[in-house]
């Protein structure tokens, strides 16, 4: 993943917070088509679009949109939380949407607003019932809440305590029948199996 570009995008978002923002595609209504969602994200004012392919099975393609400021927002008014970056993951064969996400400059108050926005719209999942891929510890990242709705897992994440790169919250929408195929995907060599 192009982490240095994601970092630059979030940093620029902090300096351009006054920019007016459109609603983020796929929230609060969930996305149903990868092509439609990607077209809606590209219609926002991104500074750059980047594509990354993951060849390990099943092969996927991730399209990133970097704003250089504010890409779009969750919510409205004083409770709005502005996203700086988006990513849309589709299967390379057929283009089925399997995941999309938004990154937000991290601050405890904005993370709490994201939690409230998600909690008002989606069904919370008790931590004991989280899928295995979310229960494993990941360096530098912490999933703080999980919700479900319409065949999706919707997770809220933030930097882990003490992480030197404490710079973003994320909201990831993952198809429940094909989870962890986007930014969470781990490709293993045949010798690792």
Q: Where does residue 78 rank: exposed (0-12), middle (13-18), buried (19+ CB within 10 A)?
A: exposed
pLDDT at 79: 87
Mark residue 43 as left, alpha or beta (left: phi above 0; alpha: psi -120 to 50; beta: remaining): alpha
Sign of CA dihedral 153, 20, 108, 160: positive
Buried-state track 86-97, b at ≥16 Cβ within 10 A, e below 16 = bbbbbbeeeebb
CB 30 within 8 A of CB 149: yes
- Parse the chain into domains and list their residue ranges: 3-188
Find out whether the peptide bond into 58 is cis, omega within 30 degrees of 0. yes
- Give the model confidence (pLDDT) of 58-91 as tens digits: 999 999 999 888 999 999 888 899 999 999 999 9
Decide: helix, strand or coil at residue 186. coil
Q: How far apart are the C-alpha atoms of 70 and 21, rounded to whole Å?
A: 6
pLDDT at 164: 59
pLDDT at 74: 96
pLDDT at 20: 56
Which residues of the chain fall short of a pLDDT of 50?
Answer: 1-19, 190-193
pLDDT at 136: 77
pLDDT at 103: 95
Q: How far apart are the C-alpha atoms of 114 and 95, rounded to whole Å?
A: 29
């Amino acid at each position: 993943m192009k982490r240095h570009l994601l970092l630059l995008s979030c940093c620029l978002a902090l300096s351009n917070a006054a920019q007016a923002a459109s609603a983020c595609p796929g929230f609060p209504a969930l996305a149903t088509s990868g092509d439609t969602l990607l077209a809606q994200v590209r219609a926002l004012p991104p500074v750059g679009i980047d594509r990354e392919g993951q060849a390990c099975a099943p092969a996927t393609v991730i399209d990133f949109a970097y704003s250089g400021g504010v890409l779009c927002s969750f919510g409205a008014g004083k409770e709005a939380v502005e996203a700086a970056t988006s990513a849309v993951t589709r299967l390379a064969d057929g283009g089925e949407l399997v995941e999309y996400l938004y990154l937000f400059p991290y601050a405890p108050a904005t993370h709490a607003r994201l939690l409230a926005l998600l909690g008002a719209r989606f069904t919370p999942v008790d931590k004991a019932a989280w899928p295995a891929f979310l229960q494993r510890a990941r360096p530098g990242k912490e999933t703080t809440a999980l919700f479900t709705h319409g065949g999706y897992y919707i997770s809220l994440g933030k930097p882990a305590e003490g992480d030197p790169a404490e710079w973003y919250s994320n909201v990831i929408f993952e198809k429940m029948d094909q989870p962890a195929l986007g930014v969470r995907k781990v490709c293993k060599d045949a010798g690792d199996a």
